Chain A
Amino acid sequence: MTRWPTLCALLALLLATSGAARGADELAVSFVSPPVGVPLFGAVEIEVEVRGAPIDAIASVEFFVDGLFVDRVDRPPFRIDHDLGDGNTSHRLEALATAHDGGRGEALLVSPAIRVDEAVDAALQQLYVTAERDGRRVDDLRRDELIVLDDGVPQRLVTFERGEVPMTAIVLVDASESMRGPRLRAATDGARAFVDAMAELDEAKLVLFADRMLHASPFTGFGEVLTTGLGAARAGGATALNDHLYTALHELEERQGRRVLILLSDGVDVSSILSMEQVRRAASRSRALIYWLRLGGAPDASQRFYSMWRGAEEHAEELELLERTVLATGGRIVDLGDTDRAGDAFAAVLAELRDQYVLGFYPSHDRGDGSWHEVEVRSLRRGVTLRTRAGYRDD
């Protein structure tokens, strides 16, 4: 008699197990690889184990990365290789197993990003300031000669640096049809010169874009890696400037330290899905400085651009908004007659970045409500003009 409860328990377990093999949503899926809690980069082997049904009863396993379908495997091993890229970002891996009888099961693995600066108080605001007098940069300002106003309220500076502050840059080069031939060569030569002149701790990523990304290097400080493959790049296609600006701003947010976005383009967007207003909003949340090497100089009032998605007035508004967006980040517009001067322009931007002051302060009225804070930096030294971002969003 004393053995009945044990037998009943075994019978119940047996029934439960056989039921799991038959019913829907009862496949057990678990990740074999990659391990949990590890940041993921580059090519990664993703493998899952499926239990709860005989192997030949499993119809397929579908893999999703960051919400997007990437591959499907019909028989074991349920394993794929996938390139997750070099960005320091969290990834969401999902596997969905389906049995021939309709049974399903899924597993989720979320990998973390490396958070180097987690200890840094996010409320610290950093301003990159360019100081000039009579068109020449001023490199001897003292901390007590600068006043930072946050929504008009003076702030106490907690950091003050100048000179070789490391930076991370994305160089976005328009390689659409209008850049075909020598113009693209001159532009990429200019970008090469920029890369060659980077300091030891600087990092950059080089992107050539048209209506799609044509070439992209990883973030690196090695010039050879940055410029590998540039020679084979060919211009062609329409221009999706807004989309690539938006993407680059997000990529920079994942990086550390001073972030710079250098754009070489005439600025005319004809095929982005995003509008410049949407880019402006992304830029206002970003801490990146945008420098625009404007091909062809400021557009003539008589120049009218049309595209399938925008009329002449809309194009003019987009261009004007791009100008304002660039200036609001604290960057500037460098007008180029043609790409021949791209090398000089890149060099000028780099020189300006080297001479920037980096000011840090904790906002005295940090609300954390996503509101916009207007920022102004004043110099007590006569005749000195300062340029920095227009403000920040208090997220």
Chain B
Amino acid sequence: MTHHTAATRPAMTLLATTLLATTLLATAALAATPIETAPVAPARPHGASTIELTMREAALLVGGEDGGSVPMALLVLSGAALEPGDAPASGSSAAAASTLVAQVEVDGRRLRELVSAAADGRYGEPPRLDLFVYALRDDLEVVDAVTLSTPLDTFADAAAPPGLRLLVPLAVSSQPVNVRALLRVEESFGLRSDRFEPRASPAPLLVGPSWPVVYPEDRRPSLAPPWSLDGDLPTSRAVAVAGSSFIVDTDSGTGDSFLRLEALGTAPHRLEPRRDAEGRTHVDLPFELEPGLWRLRLVDREGNTEEAAAGPALELAVVEPETTVTDWRDAIRSDAEPRAIIPSAPPVADSLRRREQRELMVALYRAQREAFATLVSDGFAPATAAWLKHERQAYEQHGGDALEPIAAAQTAAFRELAVHAGRDGRPDAMLPALLLVAATGRAHLAARQHLLARLALERAATLSELWVAEGGAERAEAGRLLGVLALRPLRHGAAGIAADLLRRALLLAPDDPALRLVLGALEARDQRFDTALEHFDDLLASHPDHPEAQLRRGLVARRLGDTELAREALEAASAAVASAISESERGRADWVGALAAQELVRLELEAGRPRDAATRARAALTRHPEDPSLRVALAWALEAAGDVAAARSVLAGLRPAPGLTARGQIVELPVQPLAAERRRLLAAASARRAVLGECLDQLPQSSEPPTWTLEGRPSDITGSPR
């Protein structure tokens, strides 16, 4: 705690001045303008991460610390023009303080790697580049946010040195803001943050209108269009070349002989001020400062360094001249042409739409935060209700345009959630959070927010297992939760992960038919037919009338060459379908029945009985008249029976059809049982609180999280919280 005394006030007055740093001697040319010197994390795909590592990275995202495997830089500027010819805003006006531009630079070589890695063995669209730029106040309130999601081949030329430069306008108030830029390509990301303090701010004045380094005219880096500069280097971080001489001018008027300037780096330097003929106080920088990031701060006569007494610190990047600071140096060559400008002469309508989207994103983010604030104290239901309400409103008001803001807001909100629940290992919060993820997963999926979704899911999987009682309903409940978790990797083609989750789930809930059915289907898809058959047999032992289990058993038997077993199982599937009574059963039975019929027709054809096959196909078509495969099967049977004209008549009835066919359904894998389980869990959220939320009631009401960790197996999370 700092006490302001009469003695400190002169120092405060002194510090509330403009610190003018002037280059006296620059010993080397500045070929480029390095923006940051933070070390670049080595490239490492997230797919290889353990859960612990992944969560550490999630914490990075949340904490706003620089990180990630995509080398990038962030520079926050004011008074910069977006278009050539624009008049730059004055750095000293209040208007300038309300308009920032975040310049995001991305290493082109790394982009190229990501493009080629993503293209390896995959079909479909090129990888997308997602960019989220937030201006946040210190209390994490979002002031403005911009998101960009676009196929990476939009910037085809940038996937090489010198790389990609994106300019993102942000509207802020006159308050200092933290700007965070998260760039993601598939599952690789880079995160940089920078703090911006508007120049027009009356105090503190360490960052006054002309404080940073001023280069001699002939040495000033020529920032290529779209920059249009007039006067000062528009950076919030001073850049100095090692070996040059500087004077930092405190412009204090009368000065204070006790003022000292500390340079904090690898080894602190203490700098004593001196007064010039005009009474100004200067501080000579020693210039044996090693390259790196230095913080300069003033110390008053009592040694106080707190901001209230000595003002905020000034950051100074010291770089080697003509030296590659990092391997992404080429990406930020000052003479590089920009690859993309945002906005690029935006039409008014686009501009308005973006503005609406930004406002929507901020509103959604706030709603999420409010919802999460109630997560621990009130359980899952209110959090979800609040969020879903806002999401629904957003869709109603903005239609499909709301998707991007929703996804961006969820991304931001998920950081909060990770802080709240994940980083400190709080399963009590993660379990309801898991259901929240399930509720909002649709937007994540559509917006390709794979990374964050996976972070939560993997985390929740582990926590679900840890939070299992020795027996009883909770155990089965946790098993089903794991099954729900398996849906996402399954949908993204990560069948191995899904199968692993399902096997773990079956250990907890061995009698769950949906889990066993999906696992059996996965085993069959991976050609492990014997194992698959065991799963279906186990399932049918307890649920003998399960149509889909019979169908899959029949298909597997066909692959194993056991025609008799196949016929028996397929007939049983058809019979079970016929006895389906509920609406949901009927809907499901529809494709099961169609597929069973198709396979029985094939069996007849293979047995050389085309007329029997045709009879079967006709009968099946009365129940499934739109099934294209049955029509084709009937046509083939008729042709095989010698009636080519009738075959053509049947084929002539084929029409374009929406939706999946029965075969499409089985290729898609049976996620419906688990999807139904997910819906049930969501619907029963409040009722489940007694089971799943038992920990919640036992939580201390303090805002400090308990110090649970994932090491070992704390008794607190085994069902009897204390």
Contacts and interface: CB of A to CB of B under 8 A. Distances in A.
A250 B647 contact: yes
Interface in A285-336: 306-309, 311
Given A89-B649, A180-B124, A254-B648, 9 more contacts: A68-B622, A68-B653, A237-B661, A240-B661, A240-B663, A253-B648, A273-B630, A273-B636, A306-B526
Contacts of B664: 210-212, 237-238, 271
A135 B414 CA distance: 61
A70 to B, nearest CB: 8
A326 B41 CA distance: 53
A372 interface: no
Nearest to A238: B667
B646 A273 contact: no
Contact of A308 (B524, B618, B639): B524
A211 B653 contact: no
A274 B625 contact: no
Given A237-B660, A308-B666, A213 B628 contact: yes
B621 interface: yes
Interface in B590-635: 598, 601-602, 618, 621-622, 625, 628-635
Nearest to B524: A308
A311 B527 contact: yes
A230 interface: no
B548 to A, nearest CB: 13
Contacts of B555: 308-309
21 contacts: A66-B650, A183-B123, A183-B124, A211-B663, A212-B628, A212-B660, A212-B664, A213-B655, A215-B656, A216-B656, A237-B660, A247-B651, A250-B647, A270-B667, A271-B663, A272-B629, A278-B636, A308-B524, A308-B525, A308-B555, A311-B559
B125 interface: yes
Contact of A178 (B124, B524, B618, B657): B124
Contact of A271 (B526, B630, B654, B661): B661
B527 A273 contact: no
Interface in B663-687: 663-664, 666-668
A219 to B, nearest CB: 12
Interface string A255-281: 000000000000000111110001000
A68 B628 contact: no
Interface string A69-102: 1100000000000001101011110000000000
Contacts of B497: none
In the A-B complex, the 4 residue pairs with the smallest Cβ-Cβ separation, listed nearest first, are: A181-B125, A66-B649, A271-B663, A211-B664
Interface of A: 65-70, 84-85, 87, 89-92, 177-183, 210-216, 237-238, 240, 243, 246-247, 250-251, 253-254, 270-274, 278, 282, 306-309, 311
A274 B656 contact: no
B124 A181 contact: yes
B652 interface: yes
Contact of A273 (B126, B559, B598, B660): B598
Contacts of B629: 240, 243, 271-273
Contacts of A306: 525-527
Interface of B: 123-126, 524-527, 555, 559, 598, 601-602, 618, 621-622, 625, 628-636, 639, 645-657, 659-661, 663-664, 666-668
A91 B635 CA distance: 14
B350 to A, nearest CB: 22
A240 to B, nearest CB: 7
Contacts of A68: 618, 621-622, 625, 631, 650, 653
A307 B656 contact: no
Contacts of A311: 527, 559
B445 to A, nearest CB: 14
Classify the secondary structure of B's interface with A.
helix
A273 B635 contact: no
A314 B645 CA distance: 31
Given A212-B628, A273-B602, A278-B636, A67 B656 contact: no
Contacts of B601: 273
A224 B555 CA distance: 44
Contacts of A214: 656
Contacts of A253: 648
A179 B122 CA distance: 11
A307 B655 contact: no
A214 B663 CA distance: 15
B625 A69 contact: yes
Contacts of B559: 309, 311
A69 B650 contact: no
A67 B126 CA distance: 46
Nearest to B621: A68
Contact of A243 (B628, B645, B646, B657): B628
A307 B123 CA distance: 17
Contact of A211 (B526, B602, B660): B660
B663 A216 contact: no
Contacts of B125: 180-182
Nearest to B656: A213
Nearest to B552: A308
B119 to A, nearest CB: 10
A67 B636 contact: no
A240 B631 CA distance: 13
A69 B648 CA distance: 17
A246 B632 contact: yes
Nearest to B640: A278
Contacts of A273: 598, 601-602, 629-630, 632-633, 636, 663
Q: Which of B598, B622, B636, B655 has the most CB of A within 10 A?
A: B636
Among A92, A180, A238, A254, the most chain B Cβ lie within 10 Å of the Cβ of A238
Contacts of B653: 65-66, 68, 85
A346 to B, nearest CB: 21
Contacts of A274: 632-633, 636
A357 B567 CA distance: 51
Nearest to B646: A67
Contacts of B663: 211, 238, 240, 271-273
A67 B618 contact: yes
A66 B647 CA distance: 9
Contact of A247 (B618, B654, B667): B654
A271 B667 contact: yes
A92 B666 CA distance: 33
B660 A67 contact: no
Nearest to A210: B664
B657 A91 contact: no
A240 B632 CA distance: 11
B658 to A, nearest CB: 8
A250 B666 CA distance: 27
A306 B523 CA distance: 12
Nearest to A247: B651
